[in-house]
Amino acid sequence: MKTIIVISTRGFAAFRHDLVVDPGQVRFVGLFSEHDEKNVTAALREFIDEVHILPCGKAGATVAESSYVDPERARELIAGVLDDPGAGEVTLHSFDERNLLLAADLRAEFGLPGLRREDVLPFRDKCLMKERLVAKGIRVPRFGRYDTAAAADRAAYFRAIADEVGLPFILKPVDGNSADGVYEIGSFDDYAAVPADLGRPYEYEEFVDGTIYSVNIISQHRSSLTAGVTEYLVNSSAVREGRVNADINLIDTDPRVPRMIAFAEDVLDALGRPDGASHLELFLTADDELVFLEVAARFKGLAGVAAMQRNYGVALVNLAFEVEAGLASRPYDEEQVYCFDAVIPKQRGVIERLLDPDIDSEFGITWKVHEGQVLGQGESLGDNGGVFLVWNKDYDVLYRDFERLAGYQPITYRQEAR
């Protein structure tokens, strides 16, 4: 018997339980934040033997942070599982950025197999990861840890950062995700508008002008079991400006693919390459230079895992459980079709209409908003109006549709009467 404990629905929602070879010999226990409860679908409840809804572990959490579970309550529940003589082999997993360090610490505390804090930290601390990559000769943006004491003199610190990394520059949380809390600073006025108390450690970073790509790998024993590359339609921070954030899985014959996979493998090797999923983002500049952006020890977010599974014909989450827990699954059994995902931004106003994209490929949208709803500005990729998948057996048609989304406005607004 295996007991698999999972923290957060993120990534886990794409798991294919029906492919498990011996489902009668595995029990799933889910630990989900109160804010994540809405994502515990009927399909998940069909095979999760125990669903536990925990308080959020951070007061005043942003949307991107809201899936973090209360550590003390998680500790109590895990201890209860381990006290059950029928639990068998117990493993603990999370594919959620906010819970990766917590899961690592709990594994160490209870003697469970898997990654420890020292394995995960280089994938959570954006300064530490870049320091290690610089030492290996890998090109990263110029950067530094944001000094709140020095920031007391706004004008002087602005000049110091601009002299070091140039203008514009980026301010972002050292442990952030989903473009949460990111500021693009193009002038002193931009910097003056940044809150004096940012509430958590930040870094400053060179602005790199280029197209963003992601490389998504599942590793075992420091080798890649699967690897693929996606191209982003826009920079993630542009979602807050109303741009649809789409990224298309590049066809394997694209010459960019092997080059970018090799770059990502060098990064993973420099950081210790843990077993399991990784999601790396990089820039390709106009000078054909690859520049590291950041990397996480998890799957890509939102609908990206579902899109990759359909595109590559691999049950990726099942493969991760096979690597991390020895849980065997049969091969993916659905038709392989070229596929990509997209995120619908939220902007301030009253929703007048929800509009489907004008494209030739098939698509499916999951709206999280409705007509007449009053919205505030979306604060991150996780705080969105919906997600959708686009698919086609003809890759050329799919890629043209991906490019057409650059002009797609999925929501029209009217301003709320004052």
Residue that is last in its domain, among 95, 114, 133: 114
Same domain, 275 and 326: yes
In a domain, 122, yes or no: no
Same domain, 399 and 350: yes
Same domain, 273 and 349: yes
DSSP string for 202-246: EEEEE---EEEEEEEEEEETTEEEEEEEEEESS-GGGGGGT--EE
Same domain, 228 and 373: yes
Same domain, 256 and 165: no
Question: Could you give the number of structural domains in the chain?
Answer: 3
Same domain, 292 and 184: no
- The residue segments making up the domain with residue 397 are 210-414
In a domain, 130, yes or no: no
Residue that is last in its domain, among 190, 206, 222: 206
Q: What pLDDT score was predicted for residue 237?
A: 62
Q: What pLDDT score was predicted for residue 239?
A: 64
Same domain, 376 and 272: yes
Q: How many CA atoms lie within 13 A of 73 on its CB side?
A: 16
Q: How far apart are CA 247 and CA 271, in angstroms?
A: 25
In a domain, 171, yes or no: yes
Residue with tokens 């659905």: 334
In a domain, 135, yes or no: no
In a domain, 278, yes or no: yes
Q: What pLDDT score was predicted for residue 249?
A: 96
In a domain, 136, yes or no: no
Residue ranges in the chain modelled with pLDDT below 50: 418
Residue that is last in its domain, among 165, 191, 206: 206
Phi-psi region of 324 (alpha: psi -120 to 50; beta: other; left: phi over 0): alpha
CATH number, domain of 370, equals: 3.30.470.20
Same domain, 263 and 186: no
CB 330: neighbour CB atoms within 10 A? 12
Residues belonging to the chain? 418
Same domain, 345 and 374: yes
Same domain, 194 and 228: no
CATH number, domain of 100, equals: 3.40.50.20
Tell me the two tokens of residue 16: 């294919």
Same domain, 284 and 154: no
In a domain, 47, yes or no: yes
In a domain, 133, yes or no: no
Same domain, 174 and 218: no
Q: How far apart are CA 352 and CA 166, in angstroms?
A: 41
- Phi–psi pair at 135, nearest 5 degrees: -65, -25
- pTM for the structure as a whole: 0.92
CATH number, domain of 188, equals: 3.30.1490.20
Burial of residue 331, with CB atoms counted within 10 A of its CB: 0-12 exposed, 13-18 middle, 19 or more buried: exposed
